[in-house]
Amino acid sequence: MIVIMKMDHTAEHRAAVVQRITELGLTAQPIYGETRTVIAVLGPVVPEMRDELATIDGVDEVLRVSKPYKLSNREVHQDDTVIEVGRGVRVGGGHPVFIAGPCAIESMEQLRASAEGVKAAGAHILRGGAFKPRSSPYSFQGLGVAGLTMLREVGDDLGMPTITELLSVRDVEAVAEHADILQIGARNMSNFVLLSEAGKTGKPVMLKRGLASTIEEWLLAADYILNEGNPNVILCERGIRTFETATRNTLDLNAVALGKRLSHLPIIADPSHGTGKWYLVRPMSMGAIAVGADGLMIEVHPSPDHALSDGAQSLTPANFAALAEQARALAAAMARPFASAPGAPVAAG
């Protein structure tokens, strides 16, 4: 259920609504949009509460929310959510961004080469995995905290906000300290304790869709983060498992287009994991921008043949630059030009 406040309501009116909801044993979550303020009522609501809340001063109307996900629902928040992720970069609101960098941070040299390449091509946000969720326990597991330190140093040098994955509650503190955006990977989308703990940091969280999760399950997972009072949630479609084996996953562009309709949260597409093949990353990036993605997450390695993880889907910096140019042209033609990239110059030497 949502309580829509009148345009001219006061803070006292809002407090009275929150107090009554709390007295009823429910949770109130105010949501401040550009055009209206809504108070979401969370918990086991009964229809009679609707009439009661509607009589409080300052209340315009009280509506049922038809879907099980409440806070991520566009019915509750009609405007697009725009998230400040650091260094003036904003995600959402009609200006796509590039998130790019290596799958895994392997060394300072490798990270710097990738980062300088993507920065020169106009990337906004630097990615790099320090804690890697590998299918095999014998594969490279990432550099851990040493990798986080490298990511922060290179991000600072290049003036780029950073994103990196956290695998468990164990990693929350370290990742929140070193990175601007916390990434919850596909394998952890249903790790509800991790979602809540990541939400409690208040930092932007990018939530990848689970390998076999429905759109509804994905949005419910987003609600776990939002329910901690953290409005900074970015969704990421990274492909789902289907019967098809010719590609690593099936990038579900329906989920981008439908997700934008169902939810106010920004949606990034990840054609690297969505295809598993470097030569499909550019065409599927164009598809994602065409259907309204708020940005692209692309894996870039200075020497994909030598990558310790996901080399087959990683682009060279030159290929990323070509992709970026084409994506910018397409987005501009659709009157949704890419956001301008952070201005700090590339560090000398």
Footprint of Mn ion (CB under 5 A): 103, 310
Question: Closest CB to ligand PEP belongs to which residue?
Answer: 185
Question: Closest CB to Mn ion belongs to which residue?
Answer: 103
Query: For residue 252, what are its two tokens?
Result: 């579900």
Q: Give the number of residues in contact with ligand PEP, rule: CB under 6 A.
A: 9
Return the H-helix or E-strand segment holding 37. strand 37-42
Q: Does 102 bind ligand PEP (CB under 6 A)?
A: no
Could you tell me the sign of the dihedral formed by the alpha carbons of 263, 265, 270, 273, in that order? negative
- 14 or 294: whose CB is closer to ligand PEP? 294
Helix residue ranges per DSSP H, the chain:
11-23, 48-54, 108-120, 145-158, 172-178, 192-200, 215-226, 253-262, 271-275, 278-290, 317-333
Q: How far is the CB of 56 from ligand PEP (least distance, A)?
A: 44
Among 96, 142, 155, 185, interactor with ligand PEP by CB under 6 A? 185
Q: Are the C-beta atoms of 40 and 29 separated by less than 8 Å?
A: yes
Q: How far is the CB of 280 from ligand PEP (least distance, A)?
A: 16
With H, G, I as helix, E, B as strand and everything else as coil, classify residue 321. Answer: helix
Among 65, 150, 186, 240, interactor with ligand PEP by CB under 6 A? 186
Contacted by 186, from ligand PEP, Mn ion, none: CB < 5 to 8 Å by type: ligand PEP
CB neighbour list of residue 186: distance below 8 Å, 6 or more residues apart: 208, 209, 210, 211, 238, 273
Largest Cα–Cα separation, the chain: 68
Residues 265-284, interacting with ligand PEP (CB under 6 A) = 273
237 strand-pairing partners: 269
Contacted by 36, from ligand PEP, Mn ion, none: CB < 5 to 8 Å by type: none
Nearest one of 195, 204, 23 to 124, comparing CA atoms: 204
What is the C-alpha separation between 185 and 189, in angstroms, rounded? 6
Core vs surface per residue 204-240: b (16+ CB within 10 A) or e: bbbbbbbeebebebbbbbbbbbbbbebbbbbbbbbbb
Nearest one of 124, 136, 132, 138 to 86, comparing CA atoms: 124
Among 129, 204, 231, 259, interactor with ligand PEP by CB under 6 A? 129
Q: How far is the CB of 36 from ligand PEP (least distance, A)?
A: 35
Q: How far is the CB of 208 from ligand PEP (least distance, A)?
A: 4
Q: How far is the CB of 216 from ligand PEP (least distance, A)?
A: 19
Look at the block and give the residue holding tokens 């829509």.
4
Contacted by 106, from Mn ion, ligand PEP, none: CB < 5 to 8 Å by type: none
- 58 or 142: whose CB is closer to ligand PEP? 142
Q: How far is the CB of 187 from ligand PEP (least distance, A)?
A: 6
- 187 or 200: whose CB is closer to ligand PEP? 187
- 74 or 134: whose CB is closer to Mn ion? 134
Q: How far is the CB of 236 from ligand PEP (least distance, A)?
A: 7
Listed ranges 26-34, 108-116, 183-191, 285-293: which one lies at the site for ligand PEP (CB under 6 A): 183-191
Nearest one of 226, 224, 187 to 208, comparing CA atoms: 187
Interface positions with ligand PEP (CB under 6 A): 103, 129, 133, 185-187, 208, 238, 273
